[in-house]
Structure 1
Amino acid sequence: MQQAITHLISIDQTLKFILDNFGNPTIQKRQEGFASMCHIILEQQVSIASAKACYLKIEKHFETITPIKIYNCNDLELKDCGVSRQKIIYLKDLAAKVIAKQIEFETFSSKTEQQIRAELITIKGVGNWSIEVYLMFCLQSPDIIPLGDIAIKNTLKELYNCQSQEEMQVLSNSWKPYRTFASYTIWHYYLEKRLKIKPKQTKTK
């Protein structure tokens, strides 16, 4: 981490400001494998809290989240856990591909990022954002930035006045080879700022 911090604060005063004023971000580590990919699919286009609640319901219902259990379960079981019809399709497609060994999470540590992306993109409903979150959180890839993430996009617009995807890409390229830590820093600022603003919006009757 320190190597990434030293490099980034030497080239980017905005990231330096965030780290100086908000502290270092927490680097999350998720377990590799099928269950984590299910969790990431559940996180698509919903709040982190909502996705976690749904995931915990699935975990409680099945005890362990495995491809066989998800593939063979009745759709109603997943629906009762709060999974949408569309995401049921995605989870079952993921399970089917793992069972068929079209996706082998246990081999990812020996594969290139491009090879991993090529496998995961075949899952229904999985795009760049889901893949990048898996690379960052599960595989701890050091040079990933999820430009499709709404918090990242909004913060880059706010702090750097980036108005297009191309401008964001150019900016993020300057953070290589530590774009993952830069992403964590941007998320950290986004969340800390929301926490600081929230009390001011609360009205006492």
Structure 2
Amino acid sequence: MSPAATATATDPAVRALCAADPELARVAAGIIDLPARDRPAGFRGLASIMVQQQVSLASAAAIWGRLEARLGAVTADRLTAQSDEVLLGCGLSRPKLRYLRAAAEAVADGSLDLQALPGLPVAAAREAMTAVTGIGRWTADIYLLSALGHPDIWPAHDLALQVALQAAKGLPDRPAPKATDAIAEAWAPHRSTAARLLWAHYRVIKGRDAV
């Protein structure tokens, strides 16, 4: 991932969000830099996000390191060519292996055209991605935000964002995805920046470095 890229005080999207939402303004006041969280576009970026699904960051990093050591470049063709035993030996669960194979096959046969996604509306891009087994809205949103750099993506199913939003808004319970979607509507067209602010806020409230 890229290092922190943008100072919050000078970022136009952050300034717009702060003007629109006093709770986000308070969050931004505690963040020194806005983390970029960039990933490469293409199958490698998509696969890295899928590996991260429902596991800790440390576990995902370990699995990804073993995959890269085994495959060299993590491409759809190279992943498809490996046996189940080899890939399971890298630490993938059987469901995760099945999902990665489905994504690799969809990319290889053109049913998922990753190169076409930047030219599609968000809803159409999400639909194209979630049509593939194992790619849900969280994976699609993280790819659109971090690999394609779309400025207005809100990953409503992200647990850290739900926790950070609960803290920022003083909510009694962690909000469900539908509720966070409703809150985030007011942040358009800068929802990706709002997500980055709240990811940084999550690290603050958990006692970690904000970057």
TM-score (norm 2): 0.87
Match of 1:57 in 2: 66
Match of 2:50 in 1: 41
Q: Is the contact between residue 54 and residue 82 of structure 1 (CA under 8 Å) also seen in structure 2? A: yes
**Equivalent residue in structure 1 for 2:81, among 68, 72, 80:** 72
Residues 170-199 of structure 1, C-alpha deviations (whole Å, 9 max, x = no match): 2211111101100110110111222359xx
Query: Is residue 192 from structure 1 mapped to residue 204 from structure 2 by the alignment?
Result: yes
Residues 66-108 of structure 1, C-alpha deviations (whole Å, 9 max, x = no match): 1111112100111111111110000111111111111121222
Structure 2 distance, partners of 1:132, 1:35, is 16
**Equivalent residue in structure 1 for 2:132, among 123, 126, 129:** 123
Structure 2 distance, partners of 1:16, 1:158, is 13
Deviates more, 1:10-19 or 1:156-165: 156-165
Q: Is the contact between residue 79 and residue 85 of structure 1 (CA under 8 Å) also seen in structure 2? A: yes
- Could you list the runs of 5+ residues in structure 1 that have no partner in the other structure? 198-205
Structure 1 distance, partners of 2:37, 2:186, is 23
Match of 2:156 in 1: 147
**Equivalent residues in 2 for 1:7-18 (5 A)?**
7-18=16-27
Query: Is residue 112 from structure 1 mapped to residue 124 from structure 2 by the alignment?
Result: no
Query: Is residue 170 from structure 1 mapped to residue 182 from structure 2 by the alignment?
Result: yes
TM-score (norm 1): 0.89
Q: Is the radius of gyration larger for structure 1 or structure 2?
A: 1
AA aligned to 1:69 is: R
For residue 162 of structure 1, report the CA deviation from its aligned partner: 6.6
Structure 2 distance, partners of 1:82, 1:188, is 29
For residue 159 of structure 1, report the CA deviation from its aligned partner: 2.4
- Which stretches of structure 1, 4 residues or more, deviate above 4 A after TM superposition? none
How high is the sequence identity, in percent, across the aligned residues?
Answer: 25
